[in-house]
Amino acid sequence: MAHFIPCHKVDDASNIAKLFFRDVVKLHGLPKSIVSDRDTKFLSHFWRVLWSRLGTKLLFSTTCHPQIDGQTEVVNRSLSTMLRAVLKRNHKSWDEYLPHIEFAYNRVVHKTTNISPFEAVYGAEFVKKIHERIKTHIQLQNEKYAQYNNKGKRTMIFEEGDWVWLHLRKEHFPKQRKSKLSPRGDGSFQVLQRINDNAYRLDLPSDYGVSPTFNVSDLKPFVGASDDEEESLDSRMNPSQEGGDVGRAWTKGPTTRAMTRRLVEDLTTSELSGPNGLGGPRVLFTWALLA
């Protein structure tokens, strides 16, 4: 495995030792031997004493004879080639690309060993392949969990135009669920869009202040007449008109907030006729829906 560490020409032996411990020793431990050229940094008394006390043997190559350490020369040649390919014209920022080049170099399978440096050092394939295996295993487990949890549950699918009940979850509707006695559901609401089998967009009034997209677990089919059907059934004459019915025709099923709002509007915008044709007082009714 190769590590490409940027440094300066003016760095002395102590600075080189800090870099070596920071980027090499902490990852791989103390080496048995170090092969280097005969630079003054590696020939200094500090460098020799440091490694002798740590039990590492220092080996030096012959001057102007790079064949002695051919492995290092091959790595340096590969590094130069990769730097030229990456830098192009901006040669001043070469040190910023060293981590990327080091990563690319260590993940490639070498002809001599037939494995990558990552696998040679860590005893396993490249970490990306490990992630793919873990991802596949997680997907298989999630499918098993879903199959177990959905056992015995009916698949609920709605189409555009269907009418549904909406479960008012406390975390989604904090204003509507301030009290424990507040209704836990509301409706009916029309399905505007079927995003997928698990998500639907409803025709939700803006005063709710939440996103109109809900999970299918929060929806239930509305049993009863829809708003359009209620309006069509309300084709009778107004009770204040001659020949009109005494009351409004309401459909069977639970009284929803939408029905309540329309009833309040009817009672507050029209006057009930008295026995002598005189307008009677307006009466306002309110309902408290229990959960």
Taking residue 178's Cβ as centre, other Cβ atoms within 10 Å add up to: 10
Q: Domain locations in the chain? A: 13-122, 125-153, 163-221, 227-291
Structure confidence at residue 46 (pLDDT):
75
Structure confidence at residue 238 (pLDDT):
41
Residue with tokens 């555009």: 160
Structure confidence at residue 232 (pLDDT):
52
Provide block-wise average pLDDT over 10 residues at a time, the chain (291 residues).
86 86 86 79 79 81 62 81 80 83 85 83 71 82 81 77 84 74 78 85 82 83 62 44 44 58 65 50 52 45
User: Are 263 and 278 in contact, with CB atoms under 8 Å apart?
Assistant: no
Q: Please write down the long-range contacts of 220-224, taking CB distance under 8 Å and 24 or more positions apart.
A: 220/156, 220/164, 220/165, 220/167, 220/185, 221/156, 221/158, 221/162, 221/163, 221/164, 221/165, 222/162, 222/163, 222/164, 222/165, 222/187, 222/188, 223/253, 224/188, 224/251, 224/252, 224/253, 224/254
Structure confidence at residue 132 (pLDDT):
77
Give residue 199's identity as a one-letter amino acid code. A
Which pTM value belongs to this model? 0.39
Element (H or E) spanning 163, and its range? strand 163-167
Structure confidence at residue 166 (pLDDT):
84
Domain 163-221, CATH among 1.10.1740, 1.20.1260, 2.30.30, 3.30.750 = 2.30.30
Domain 13-122, CATH among 3.40.50.1370, 3.20.20.100, 3.30.420.10, 3.40.367.20 = 3.30.420.10
DSSP 8-state secondary structure symbol assigned to residue 2: -
Q: CA 283 to CA 248: how far, in whole Å? A: 15
